[in-house]
Structure 1
Amino acid sequence: MCLVLGLGLIGGAVAGAVINHGPRAARPVADGSPEAFAKARNVWRDTPVDQLFPPTVEEKGGGPGGADRSWTRIGVATPSGCAGAFDPLLQRVITPVGCVRLLRATYVDSTSSTVTTVGLLVTAGEAPAMNALNQRWTAEHLGDRADLLPRPVAFPGTAAASFGDRQRGSWDVQVAADLPFVVYAVSGFADGRTVSAPLPAAKADAAGATSASAQAGLGYDATGLASAVDDRLHAAVAAQLHPTTTPAGPEKH
């Protein structure tokens, strides 16, 4: 796996990650300068794959009804460009910030019933472009649109062997305003069933939601894994930009 991922995504393995998410406060890491963005943009080369995409992720109270949730990584895709990784309209939305590299991994939950692909898009955009995309994403509620979905990564011979576009049940896209990154996750059922009306994580997690995606906790899968990777990404960037105040691990809320 390390050979496939290339130089920089090697060594320094971490056994797993335990995240407890509450309200996510603003966490400015970079000062918005081109120099800071350039350093942050190279973090993926210098950070071990197991640090960005831990082999296991646990979230206390991160499931329906406050149940604990855990996921196991079943595959890591080769770092790539962005062609074919997003629905066409989503590809158009993110085009202004560019695509330097796309990193992706797929996880299965502890019951082997749901699968989730989490992605880290390293953009070419500087602070003004990222801030504009972040504001547009929020103001236009683009995260609620079912025609703006990231695409999953299937791995033959695993629980995600049948994980394709028609199996997408929920998703979460997190656009950074202060860093050149977009983190996302898209979830579905491990048995390959199709979902006719996928729900954004915020709606799938809402109290009283009765769809199969909501009851299966697909929104919790998407948000939990996207947020876990985003936390670890911020920790890695902080360690690179501020080495004298290196954090011990991902931020906990």
Structure 2
Amino acid sequence: MSHVYDDPRPFGGRVRRQTVAAAACVVLGLGLIGGAVTGSWLVGDSADAGQRGAFATAAGLWHNVPVDQLFPRTVTGRGAGPGGADRTWTRIAVAPDSGCADAFDPLLGKALAPAGCERLLRATYTDATQSHVTTVGLLFTEADAAGMRSLETRFKNEDLYRRTDLMPRPYAPRGTVAAGFGTAQRASWTVSVLTDAPVVVYAVSGWADGRAVDDPQPATDATRSGATTAPAQAGLGHEAKGLADRVERGLRKSVVAASEQPS
């Protein structure tokens, strides 16, 4: 800035010039800031609109996507078993889509009630050895994004994911290896409340021989290293978590694919 002080014009002229220059800088700066803020709002609006669109798309998947896409006939779980072993599950049967009346134990039904029930889809799988059976479910709720966030927060803060009186019920199709898979046979389970879709994903596993379980354990505990309960030792926590995770991934892929389709 030394050239300013070398200006031969009177000091007042220099002040006026500096004032004008400063004002121009302020105007330019405000313009740039305003443009940046406006741009961020536009980007935010676009992102929010995309999220709202994906949420709405997910809400309609239960009647817009083939059942084989939501519940594939065969599901591969690479590294999903104990010690990182691979798993393969074969679908035994798909339950007729339904509402939620009598679909859950009373306390779990009460916990999920604030989100409403648009549709419930369920399928039961068995592992490659037909030693284990697992029911996986997709509960399509009536809630908006705020409602799903509220439900997820409650499940997390109150530790509802781990309560044995909030286990999902299995679907036990007659004439299959899962015919004896009742409420007393539940060994491990997982429940996931999604916040980017109006969906609750869950899975519950047990033995295919119909044995009752005295100490069911949530999959988060049954999959931990060193867990010694019978469900953990048998890998039933991995069965529930691995299958639920892959059905959830498939759901998300279906949302993306449906969102990218031309209108």
Which TM bucket (shorter chain)?
Answer: 0.7 to 0.9
CA RMSD of superposed structures (Å): 1.7
Q: Hey, what does 1:122 align to over in structure 2?
A: 140
Change (3 A) 1:62 1:194: same
Q: Which one of 55, 60, 69 corresponds to residue 51 of structure 1?
A: 69
Percent sequence identity over aligned pairs: 56
2:228 aligned partner, one-letter code: T
Q: CA deviation at 1:37?
A: 3.6
* Structure 1 counterpart of 2:192: 174
Name the CA distance, whole Å, in 1 between partners of 2:111 and 2:65.
28
> Which residue of 2 is the match for residue 224 of structure 1?
242
- Tell me: CA distance 1:242–1:126, structure 2 relative to 1, closer, same or farther (3 Å): same
CA contact (8 A) 1:172 1:184 kept: yes
8 A contact 1:71–1:108 mirrored in 2? yes
Task: Report the secondary structure of 1:147's partner residue.
Answer: helix
Structure of greater relative contact order (alpha carbons < 8 Å, 6+ residues apart):
1
Q: Kindly tell me: are residues 29 and 219 of structure 1, through their superposed partners in 2, closer, same or farther at Cα, counting changes over 3 Å?
A: farther
- Greater displacement, 113-122 / 234-243: 234-243
**5+ residue gaps, structure 1:** 1-27, 245-253
Q: Give yes or no for the alignment of 1:40 onto 2:58.
A: yes
Which residue of the partner structure matches residue 241 of structure 1?
259
Q: Tell me how far apart the structure 2 counterparts of residues 206 and 42 of structure 1 sit (CA, whole Å).
A: 36
Aligned position for 2:20: none
2:79 maps to which residue?
61
Q: Show the 5 A alignment for 1:108-119.
A: 108-119=126-137
Cα distance in 1, alignment partners of residues 162 and 109 from structure 2: 16
> Looking at CA atoms only, which structure, 1 or 2, has the larger radius of gyration?
2
Structure 1 equivalent of residue 43 of structure 2: none
The correspondence of residues 6-85 of structure 1 with structure 2, limited to 5 A, is 31=50, 33=52, 36-85=54-103
Secondary structure of the corresponding residue to residue 73 of structure 1: strand
Q: Secondary structure at the match of 2:166?
A: coil
2:54–2:255 Cα contact (<8 Å) kept: no
Structure 2: gaps spanning 5 or more residues = 1-46
1:242 CA drift (Å): 3.2
The partner residue of 2:216 within 192, 198, 214 is: 198
What are the superposed Cα offsets for residues 18-37 of structure 1, whole Å, 9 maximum, x if unpaired?
A: xxxxxxxxxx998553x654
Equivalent of residue 168 in structure 2, options 129, 133, 150: 150
Per residue, is there more helix in 1 or in 2? 2
SS in 1 for 2:151: helix
The code of the aligned residue for 1:140 comes to: E
Aligned pair in 2 of structure 1 residues 224, 30: CA closer, same or farther (>3 Å)? farther
Q: With structure 2 as the length reference, what TM-score do the two structures score?
A: 0.79
Q: Is the CA contact (8 Å cut-off) linking 1:204 and 1:218 kept in structure 2? A: yes
